[in-house]
Chain A
């Protein structure tokens, strides 16, 4: 009677150990359990740091560095300008790496984000929406990791390919109500869909 019981315990223990090992391996190789932009942002290494910053960007770097426990003086020397003259507001997009490994970015005069780390949020992307004031239409801007090879913006029945430049996307959104989605295609052939909130 005792021998089958001990055998079952041994099998169960082996199964638990195997499952645990599988989880460890998937994390180690950057598998699909890793979210956000943990697959990397090559543009942050490729582009040179900005020598001077606009006053509002410098102020934001200082305040956001405090919020992310990052040395503000060092952060200001690491800022990259990833995009320029975006949309009706002609915003620029600046970014720097925080101490957590997350990348803070600022769509000037609109919105900014400091993710808690590189893994924060859905796989492949850290997005924000902006605009929606005065004559500036709503828009979506995002950091996109190196493993993303394509992004489509789907609004209602229409689909628009959004170019990925310097690991970022930007697109203005229509004023008409309707569902809005980002469809991400990854280098490994998989795809993910992110529905943007429908409260405007």
Chain B
């Protein structure tokens, strides 16, 4: 019984440490890029994602659109959310475990300048 209790205690500590490490995580998964129409970038997987954003502008012309979404480890994804206004666009939906993606709409007629895409679970 004492051995089982010790194993349980160690497991609990390891779990707490793992959660502690996972929380407060962020990743800048695009740092300055030009997105052609339909181009997508993805982050690493992590737990409790709560913000994904893209910062971009339309210096190449027109009114292109950009999208964001989360995907789970089984390959299923949320719907894209979209914006057509250059600036910073945030996805504040949440996913228990997954990755973030940023994307240039396939129907764009112009490339998009992306200064950054970042996902976090802070």
Among B51, B81, B85, B107, contact of A198 (Cβ-Cβ < 8 Å) = B107
**Closest CB-CB distance, A180 to chain B, in whole Å?**
10
Which residues on A sit within 8 Å (CB–CB) of B65?
197
A98→B92 CA distance, assembly (Å): 19
Query: CB of B55 within 8 A of chain A?
Result: yes
Which residues on A sit within 8 Å (CB–CB) of B107? 195, 197-199
Q: Is B45 an interface residue (CB 8 A)?
A: no
Number of A-B contacts (CB under 8 A): 102
Tell me the B12-34 residues at the A interface (CB within 8 Å).
none
Query: Chain B: how many interface residues by the 8 Å CB criterion?
Result: 28
Q: A109-B92, A115-B86, A122-B63 are in contact. Are A130 and B105 (CB under 8 A)?
A: no
Q: Complex: how many Å from CA A16 to CA B74?
A: 60
Q: Is the CB of B93 within 8 A of A113?
A: no
Rounded to whole angstroms, the CA-CA distance of A198 and B80 in the bound complex is 10
Q: How large is the interface on A (under 10, 10 to 19, 20 to 34, 35 or more residues)?
A: 35 or more
Stretch from A40-48, A60-68, A76-84, A161-169 that touches the partner: A60-68
Name the residue of chain A whose CB is nearest to the CB of B65.
Answer: A197
Taken together as a complex, chains A and B put the C-alpha atoms of A146 and B6 apart, in Å, by: 67
**Which residues of chain B from 73 to 99 have a CB within 8 Å of any chain A CB?**
78-94
A111 near B: Cβ within 8 Å? yes
Nearest CB of A to B115, in Å: 10
**Contacting A113 at CB < 8 Å: which of B69, B90, B105?**
B90
5 A-B pairs with CB atoms under 8 Å apart are: A60-B92, A68-B87, A111-B68, A122-B84, A194-B84
> 9 tightest A-B contacts by CB?
A132-B79, A121-B85, A112-B90, A115-B87, A116-B87, A115-B85, A126-B85, A120-B85, A114-B88
Residues of B whose CB lies within 8 Å of any CB of A are 51, 55, 57, 63, 65, 67-69, 78-94, 105-107
**20 more A-B contacts (CB under 8 A) besides A114-B87, A132-B80, A197-B65?**
A102-B87, A106-B90, A106-B92, A108-B92, A110-B81, A111-B81, A111-B83, A112-B89, A112-B90, A114-B89, A115-B86, A116-B57, A116-B87, A117-B87, A121-B85, A126-B84, A128-B83, A128-B89, A196-B82, A199-B107
